[in-house]
């Protein structure tokens, strides 16, 4: 397999990047760690003639516990005991990404905006051509759920659910200036796997911000996958809560690897906040979230198994946090 020729741009500031992005229109991709994009390019998946490399863009580099630059390498976070101490869910999620080699290149921004995945999409050009192309690349139908309207490719980043339960916001640069938005709003909750984010044309993810409360919650991230490294999540479940005696004073649960976007279950969890929290309540919570999720058959494990594991993982994660111990 070969990479088709492309033109590489290496801007040094956000301003320059955003201007370049505006000038290039839709004909480019941002190149962060390249661990997912370049293999996809080799398979001729939505190849663009221009790549804007972000490794020289000053404002995207480096991190503090409050602000994590989008180009922060996952390996750097993984090696930092402060991250694991302040934000266990984030530390566990980062550590669970792929392999040490991928984490050495892979970035925070790249993982948040990683391309959605599907059996019928992540295949060689030959493979896809022989079946007939799909909605997500070069075609007009879905092979997972045969129809022509909607793509079911699965969101497969690890960091998003962990950062969602920690209440993260993201800093986005746009031609009109920077804006801040809750991480949830980075993703489209209308369930289409083609558009993996809601950034506008030329917009750039600059950094992730964590609020002070993120350090006060108990949090964890559990990952389901066939093998304990290398694999993308078949389910990535993050939970965070605070306990006040027998009272649950905050609760957040989010999951990736199940649907087209990382999903936070606020409408379910808010019904549990405030009251006393018992084992029965934990089971009710797990059952409600399990009932709400809709995985499809486009990853290694069958959807009924991933759905059932959602309930198990919610129960395990929340119970462990409630009891003040590690879940994994």
Partner 1 sequence: MTAAPSPELRLLGREIPYIEGPLKVSGRSEYTDDIKRPGMLVGKLLRAPWAHAKLLRVDVTKARAFPGVFAVLTGEKYPTPFGVLPITKDETAIAVDRARYIGDIIAAVAAQDELTAERALALVEIEVELLPEYSDPRVGRTRVDVPIHEKGLNHSNIQKEVVQHFGDVDAAFRDAAATVRVRASFAGVTHAFTEPQCTVAEATPDGRLTVWSSTQVPHYLHRALSEVLRLPMHRIRVVKPEVGGGFGGKSDPLPHEIACAALALETGRPVKILFDRDEVFLTNHGRHPTFNEVRIASTADGQLLGYDIEALIEGGAWSSFGTVTTYYNGVMAMGPYALPSFRYKGQRVFTNRPPSGAMRAHGGTNIRYSVEVGLDELAEKLNLDPFDLRSRNALPPHSTTVNEFRVTSTSFLRCLEAVRERSGWAEKWRRLPYGHGVGLGCGFYISGSNSPIHFTPKMPQCTVHLKADMDGGITVHCMQADIGQGSNTLLAAIVAEVVGVSLDRIHISPVDSDVTPVDIGSYSSRVTFMMGNAARKAAEGLRDRLLDATHQLTGYPRDALRVGVERYEVVHRPDIGATYLEALHQAIQSTGAVQSTGAYISPPVGGTFKGARAGTAPAYSFAAYVAQVAVDDETGVYDVEKVWAAFDCGRPLNRLAVEGQIQGSIHMGLGQFMGESMDYRGTRLMNPSLLDYKIIMPHQMPEVECLLVGEDDPEGPFGAKEAGEGPLVATLPAAANALYDAVGVRFYDLPVTPDRVLKGLDRRRAESRVWKGH
Binding site for partner 1 (CB under 8 A): 1-2, 4, 119, 122-124, 126-127, 129-131, 224, 226-231, 300-302, 304-305, 308-309, 312, 316
Nearest distance from C-beta of residue 283 to partner 1, angstroms: 13
- Cα separation, 263 vs 91, in Å, equals 19
Sheet containing 247-256: which strands, arranged edge to edge? 218-224, 235-244, 247-256, 263-264
Nearest distance from C-beta of residue 123 to partner 1, angstroms: 8
Nearest distance from C-beta of residue 247 to partner 1, angstroms: 28
Instruction: Note whether 197 and 271 are within 8 A (CB).
Output: no
The secondary structure element, H or E, covering residue 307 is: helix 303-322
Which of residues 18 and 151 has its CB atom nearest to partner 1 in the complex?
151
Secondary structure E strands in the chain:
7-9, 28-31, 50-53, 67-69, 169-173, 179-182, 204-209, 218-224, 235-244, 247-256, 263-264
Nearest distance from C-beta of residue 34 to partner 1, angstroms: 16
Which of residues 100 and 182 has its CB atom nearest to partner 1 in the complex?
100
Q: What contacts 24+ positions apart, CB below 8 Å, involve 85-88?
A: 86/214, 86/215, 87/162, 87/166, 87/210, 87/214, 87/215, 87/219, 88/218, 88/219, 88/220, 88/221, 88/326
Which of residues 25 and 132 has its CB atom nearest to partner 1 in the complex?
132
Which of residues 218 and 316 has its CB atom nearest to partner 1 in the complex?
316
Instruction: Note whether 310 and 258 are within 8 A (CB).
Output: yes
The secondary structure element, H or E, covering residue 310 is: helix 303-322
Which of residues 25 and 302 has its CB atom nearest to partner 1 in the complex?
302
Nearest distance from C-beta of residue 28 to partner 1, angstroms: 21
Which of residues 211 and 326 has its CB atom nearest to partner 1 in the complex?
326
Which of residues 127 and 179 has its CB atom nearest to partner 1 in the complex?
127
Nearest distance from C-beta of residue 119 to partner 1, angstroms: 6
């Amino acid at each position: 397999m070969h990479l088709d020729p492309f033109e590489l741009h290496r801007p040094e500031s956000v301003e320059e990047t955003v201007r370049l992005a505006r000038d290039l229109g839709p004909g480019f991709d941002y190149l962060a760690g390249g661990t997912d994009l370049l293999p996809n390019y080799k398979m001729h998946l939505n190849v663009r003639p221009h790549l804007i490399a972000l490794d020289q863009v000053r404002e995207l580099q480096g991190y503090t516990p409050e602000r994590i630059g989008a180009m922060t390498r996952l390996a750097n976070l993984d090696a930092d005991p402060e991250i694991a101490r302040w934000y266990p869910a984030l530390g566990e999620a980062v550590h669970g990404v792929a392999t040490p080699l991928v984490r050495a290149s892979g970035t925070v921004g790249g993982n948040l905006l990683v391309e959605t995945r599907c059996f019928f999409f992540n295949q060689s050009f030959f493979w896809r051509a022989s079946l007939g192309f799909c909605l997500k690349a070069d075609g007009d139908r879905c092979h997972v759920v045969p129809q022509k309207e909607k793509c079911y490719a699965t969101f497969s980043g690890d960091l998003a659910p962990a950062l969602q339960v920690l209440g993260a916001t993201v800093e986005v640069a746009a031609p009109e200036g920077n804006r801040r938005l809750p991480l949830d709003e980075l993703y489209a909750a209308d369930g289409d796997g083609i558009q993996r984010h809601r950034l506008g044309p030329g917009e750039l993810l600059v950094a992730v911000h964590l609020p002070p409360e993120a350090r006060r919650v108990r949090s964890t991230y559990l990952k389901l996958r066939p093998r304990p490294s290398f694999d993308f999540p078949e389910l990535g479940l993050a939970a965070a809560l605070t306990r006040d005696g027998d009272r649950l004073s905050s609760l957040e649960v989010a999951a990736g690897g199940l649907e087209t976007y990382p999903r936070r279950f606020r409408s379910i969890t808010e019904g549990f906040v405030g009251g006393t929290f018992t084992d029965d309540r934990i089971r009710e919570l797990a059952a409600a979230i399990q009932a709400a999720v809709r995985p499809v058959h486009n990853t290694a494990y069958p959807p009924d198994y991933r759905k059932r594991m959602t309930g198990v993982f919610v129960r395990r994660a929340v119970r462990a946090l409630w009891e003040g111990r590690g879940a994994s």
